[in-house]
Amino acid sequence: MDQTTRRRVYTLRFENHGDLTVRTRKPGFRSVQLCARAVRALGEGFEGAGLPAHKRIRAWAWLFEAFSDSLIDWDLTDFGKKVPPTRDGVFAQDHDLLLDLARAWYLNVAVRREKPDPVPEPPIRPVEPAAATSAPALTPEDLALMDLPVEVFDPEADWVETGQPAEVPEPESSSV
């Protein structure tokens, strides 16, 4: 059976960047991990104030990589040529533009909590008494065919038969 997942598509519009339109989806698990690392390092404002430059750049790279993994399409052009919505296309852009796009994507898509689609109730089918028969008990031979360990309980004895030789404890000698 072919099982396809339904993933929501989100459209973000940026008026401050020439009416740029970006279509994305929710991030996958790997991208969520990258976002968590970036936010932990940079802080909620994504500025990374107080961080050494190399750590700030690495954290921004995590955020931009997560954004590029969720990017479906955008209408971004560079000197009249459409920029591909790929990781290379994303990383070739200006840092300030990427920071604005990734911040908006993170706050509006990545961490957005939505109500899940309601799970339909399964149809209830009444069971008729004639159809409700109990299954026959499995015998030790049936269990042996299934390659399961066979244990037979005898309520009259204080031991369990496992098909293995029983370990009999040596009687303790007592001195009187």
Mean pLDDT in order along the chain per 10 residues (176 residues): 70 88 88 83 76 86 90 92 94 90 84 62 61 60 57 50 55 57
- At residue 149, the pLDDT reads 47
- At residue 88, the pLDDT reads 94
**Domain with 81 in it:** 9-110
pTM for this predicted structure = 0.59
Cα(27)–Cα(81) distance, integer angstroms: 27
- At residue 175, the pLDDT reads 55
Cα–Cα distance list, 176 to 18, 45, 62, 169 (Å): 103, 84, 80, 21
- Our count of domains for the chain comes to 1
Q: Is residue 89 part of a domain?
A: yes
- At residue 75, the pLDDT reads 93
- At residue 49, the pLDDT reads 76
Cα–Cα distance list, 129 to 133, 134, 136, 137 (Å): 8, 11, 17, 20
Q: Is residue 122 part of a domain?
A: no
Q: Is residue 45 part of a domain?
A: yes
Q: Is residue 169 part of a domain?
A: no
Q: Is residue 26 part of a domain?
A: yes
Q: Is residue 68 part of a domain?
A: yes
Q: Which domain CATH number covers 46? A: 3.30.2220
